[in-house]
A and B are shown apart, each in its own frame.
Chain A
Amino acid sequence: MSFIAKPRIDHPGLPKNALGLTRRDYEGSMSTLCAGCGHDSVTAAIVEAVWGLAIRPEQVAKLSGIGCSSKTTAYFVGGGHGFNAVHGRMPSIATGAIAANRDLYYIGVSGDGDTLSIGFGQFAHAIRRNIDMLYIIENNGVYGLTKGQFSASADIGSQAKRGEVNLQPPVDPVLTALTLGCTFVARSFSGDKQQLVPLIQAGLQHRGFALIDVLSPCVTFNDHEGSTKSWRYVRENYEEVVHADYVAAAREITVDYAAGEATEVRLHDGGRIVLRKLDASYDPTHRGRALNYLREKLRQGEHVTGLIYIDQKSPEFHEVNNTSDMPINRIPYERLTPGAKGLAKILSRYR
């Protein structure tokens, strides 16, 4: 943790996005996480991604629950909206907010405890409803705020800092999301921004629920020999299977891909996600094969990363529930409320 605020001096050569803003304009308040926490790198990646998409800060809604991870939302896009929910209940708040206003970009940041233990039910239903949000799990396999107990995502055989070995099987958020029908499933690593930043951009533009499980080492309680989520272990054992780049509608693809190497997924906003397969046998649009592939790699102790599965066809929350196109805070009061008479009419139906 640092006690010195980042001084407000800019590099004169700092690039500006289409709105004329620099990265610095997308920062939040000073992080009080441990020095070297993976979550701070995720924060930096979100800042970079949102800046790169030239989203106005007030178009962003940041949602979180409880835990080290859930503090993250305070540290990026200080000009955005925010809601810090009860432990594990962020998806309900998000669902309500999304139902009321579809014009915002929803970024939920949660942790392995907040998502896979206390909030597991909420997490499942958010996926089931395919609500239009980016859901980032900052996954470090450990309960940092309560001093380093194993979390539900700790791998079998992983050692705690005190020495005990975890014997219980982990809940893998990526496998879980695939089985629940999630329409955008990705895994990344806080130490690899080249992979993470475009994934966040793709997830923000994806229509429906986009999950990114980010391996984000806990530098204080889970960064030692014997840990399977240390900076070192993840670096040595992560395998990127599909690299995804988001390309906005107006932009040309500037990166050259070898023939047959890249495939495109068209998004509803006209943009594209360019997928570059690093394992030719892999198909990120086939849920069953993706599941098998992941299980196989999991047995080998590998963390598979990249855009693991994407589905643009399944209907998302707004379509299914026929929500208002106009955010309800902009609907005139007279139209929004039934009035005393109307209310009496509605109530009479339930008598």
Chain B
Amino acid sequence: MQATDTGDPSWFHRVVDCQWACPAHTDVPEYIRLIAQGRFADAYLVNRASNVFPGILGRVCDRPCEPACRRGRVEAKPVAICRLKRVAADRRDEHQSDIRERLPRAPAVKNGKRIACIGAGPASLTVANDLMPLGYEVTVFEKWGAPGGLMRTNIPGFRLPARVLDEEIGYILDMGVDLRLNTPISSLRALLDSGEYHAVFVGSGAPKGKDLDLPDRHAPAAVGHIHIGIDWLEAVAFGHTHSVGRRVLIIGVGNTAMDCCRTALRLGAAEVKVMARKPRGFFKASDWELEDAEEENVEIVVNHAPQRFVVRDGRLAGMIFERMEYELDDSGRIRAQRAVGEAFFPCEDVILAIGQENAFPWIEDDLGLEFDAWHRPKVDPDTFQSTRPGVFFGGDAAFGPKNIIWAVEHGHQAAISIHRYCHGLPVEERPQPTLKLESRKMGLHEWAYKNDYAPFERRLMPHVGLKERFKKLDIEVELGFTAEQAAAEAARCLNCDVQTVFDARLCIECDACVDICPVDCLTMVANGSESEVRTRLKAPALEPTQPLFVSAPLKHTGRVMVKDENLCVHCGLCAERCPTAAWDMQKSTIGIAYAGDGIPPCSTLQTRKRA
């Protein structure tokens, strides 16, 4: 095998699995360390640099980081990364610090470039956040009367209070963003032709909920009681809908369905059933959202495929479902399915939560913007530029529904592209991430990070009592971690960013590191092909997709040091036991590039000291 090039920033980045899995590459171990030190404001700012909305995401992020967390490989449960983020947000203003003083500001003198953002959701707001400090004038057009996009319309207040939204969106708007509420864009041509903007960013989301065209869907008696999930949530959020029937069926079992069923309970429904076509394990909703819904006595009915709506006595009486049976193969995939009868479920209201898509009735066909077969714009996955230069897409508008953290990352990338585009530079050339390594050795047997393994189990999030929470629509259910819980949870982080860095020139092959490693991830072997070397490791490499670290040949025997990064717990014992410091524990900082990186500001205002 070739010796690993650890100078490539992606090598050590990949070891930090949470950061690697996060679309916006939030420096998770660093902010968890800051929380452990009680530096909540610093932790908040580390978060904000990459994910822009720590308080929001600390409540409702889809948490791609947590399944990736290494703690989940050596123990049952990963670190509660998402809820620690909320700790940083909840306590950022402790110690008499006002976080506002430390936020980016827009310069007084502008660079003369004006950008239009369509939709005031997370993607557009991120674009504004990245471009305002560089001197851009950003105008955001929003069709509703409040900014936030789906964060405001589709996520109920009992999960994400409006106060949190207002604060974090305010941080961006306060830089001087020109926000135009109740201003839907009805024609992209008109916007482009106005010539007012140097670039346009489309962050209008995926606002069209899918319908279910079954018999009697549009029967006059039923139509007012069959709702499209995201539209219904929107109506509730803006106070247009105040009530719902006693019995409610939710069709679909994604995260929107979970928000719908819990909202229905708060509007007075007594019996809410979530109807799933397939068995458990095929649900799209995140496990924790399912748990939260079931805690509130929502029944999830599996293996029922909707057949038709039933109208009786001039009103919607219920729905008929086909009962399904599935045969699964060994890998858990469906091999065969069959219907084994019908079942009737009575209800007063039906909410359809079976997906959503983006829709652009306001984009004309002859603007030079190409669309694919599903009438989605063709968008470059790296630059986020459409086929018409100067028009960029991001968030759900670009590639269909994902989640907030993806929208944020799209916004960052689009901001880089817009910045380059406005400077006449090719958008395909992207600023590259950087790598900084700093030793954590402090002296004999002392390391500048907490490396003793804390055997705590994952902390449970405290909730408002089951009776209490239904009193109002927007009582936040999750209370946030207490100080003690936050401290224990932070101690569970394995510090994957404190890297084991090996220098083959120093190694005397004494075996000390190999012997002491608690998870047997080190082996000194004669080199060979990768598949062959994998068979000779001290403990089997369980994750074939995780690349092995391979050193340069060792000087005594010509063998190589091989490290399986998969299970390393970063305890630092290899470095502690190394007599020659061939192993060292070094903190890696991955410098993620943002719009301002790579291009010097076009005009800098010099302040000169005068005598």
Contact = CB atoms under 8 A, between A and B. Distances in A.
Interface string B296-326: 0000000000000000000000000000000
Interface of B: 73-75, 445, 451-453, 455, 508-512, 514-516, 518-521, 539-540, 542, 556-557, 567, 569, 571-573, 576-580
Contact of A35 (B75, B452, B577): B577
A125 B74 CA distance: 50
Contact of A44 (B455, B511, B542, B569): B511
A41 interface: yes
A4 to B, nearest CB: 6
Given A4-B572, A11-B520, A231-B556, A191 B453 contact: no
Nearest to A36: B579
A344 interface: no
Main SS class of interface, A: loop
Contact of B452 (A7, A13, A232): A7
A231 B508 contact: yes
A188 interface: no
A7 B518 contact: yes
A7 B517 CA distance: 9
Contacts of A6: 516, 518, 571, 573
- Ranked nearest first, the 8 interchain pairs of A and B with the lowest CB-CB distance are A36-B579, A7-B453, A44-B515, A13-B540, A41-B511, A11-B539, A3-B445, A2-B576
Interface residues of A, number: 36
Interface string A190-229: 1101000000000000000000000001011001000000
Contact of B579 (A11, A14, A35, A235): A35
Contacts of B542: 12-13
Contacts of A217: 510
A43 B515 contact: yes
Contacts of A219: 508, 510, 579
A170 B452 CA distance: 44
Contacts of A223: 508, 579
Given A1-B445, A6-B518, A36-B578, A41 B512 contact: yes
B509 to A, nearest CB: 6
B197 to A, nearest CB: 55
Contacts of B445: 1-4
Given A40-B515, A191-B510, A235-B556, A34 B579 contact: yes
A9 B519 contact: yes
Contacts of A5: 452
A4 B452 contact: yes
A35 B576 contact: yes
Contacts of B578: 35-36
A219 B518 CA distance: 22
A227 B502 CA distance: 26
Given A4-B573, A9-B518, A191-B511, 20 more contacts: A4-B452, A4-B576, A7-B452, A7-B571, A8-B518, A9-B75, A11-B519, A12-B73, A35-B579, A36-B510, A36-B579, A37-B512, A40-B577, A41-B510, A44-B515, A190-B510, A190-B511, A191-B510, A193-B511, A235-B556
A38 interface: yes
28 contacts: A2-B577, A4-B451, A4-B452, A4-B571, A4-B573, A6-B571, A6-B573, A9-B75, A9-B519, A9-B569, A11-B567, A13-B539, A13-B540, A13-B542, A15-B539, A35-B512, A35-B576, A36-B577, A36-B578, A40-B511, A40-B512, A41-B512, A44-B514, A190-B510, A220-B579, A231-B509, A235-B557, A236-B556
B573 A191 contact: no
A60 B518 CA distance: 23
B509 A191 contact: yes
A334 interface: no
A8 B75 CA distance: 11
A34 B567 CA distance: 26
Contacts of A8: 453, 455, 518
A10 interface: yes
A235 B511 CA distance: 13
Question: Which of B451, B510, B540, B573 is the most central at the interface, judged by chain A CB atoms within 10 Å of its CB?
Answer: B510
A10 B515 contact: no
A2 B556 contact: no
A231 B524 CA distance: 15
A189 to B, nearest CB: 11
B515 to A, nearest CB: 4
Contacts of A3: 445, 576
A139 B515 CA distance: 19
A7 B520 contact: no
A223 B579 CA distance: 11
A14 B571 contact: no
Contacts of B508: 36, 219, 223, 231-232
B253 to A, nearest CB: 31
A341 B444 CA distance: 65
B537 to A, nearest CB: 10
Which of B75, B508, B540, B556 is packed against the most chain A CB atoms within 10 Å? B508
A220 B455 CA distance: 34
A231 B515 CA distance: 16
A36 B516 CA distance: 10
Contacts of B520: 11, 14
A10 B511 contact: no
Contacts of A231: 508-510, 556
Interface in A224-254: 231-232, 235-236
B569 A7 contact: yes
B71 to A, nearest CB: 10
Contacts of A13: 539-540, 542
A240 to B, nearest CB: 14
Nearest to B572: A4
Nearest to B454: A7
Most chain B beta carbons < 10 A, residue from A2, A37, A190: A2
A190 to B, nearest CB: 7
Contact of B512 (A4, A10, A36, A193): A36
Contacts of B557: 235
Interface in A35-79: 35-38, 40-41, 43-44
Contact of B453 (A9, A11, A15, A236): A9
Contacts of B511: 40-41, 44, 190-191, 193
Contacts of B455: 8
Contacts of A15: 539
A36 B511 CA distance: 7
The residue in B452, B511, B521 that gathers the most chain A C-beta atoms within 10 A of its C-beta is B511
A281 B512 CA distance: 36
A34 B516 CA distance: 13
B575 to A, nearest CB: 9
A166 B589 CA distance: 51
Contacts of B515: 40-41, 43-44
B153 to A, nearest CB: 44
Contact of B556 (A34, A190, A220, A232): A232
Q: Give the one of A3, A11, A37 with max B CB within 10 A.
A: A11
Nearest to B517: A6
A24 B74 CA distance: 15
A38 B509 CA distance: 10
Contacts of A235: 509, 556-557
Contacts of A35: 512, 576-579
B542 to A, nearest CB: 5
B436 to A, nearest CB: 25
Contacts of A190: 510-511
B510 A14 contact: no
Given A36-B579, A191-B510, A219-B510, A2 B539 contact: no
Name, among A4, A8, A10, the residue most crowded by chain B CB atoms within 10 Å (CB to CB).
A4
A193 B510 CA distance: 11
A41 to B, nearest CB: 4
Nearest to A24: B518
Contact of A9 (B74, B510, B576): B74
Given A7-B569, A36-B579, A232-B508, A14 B453 contact: no
Nearest to B557: A235
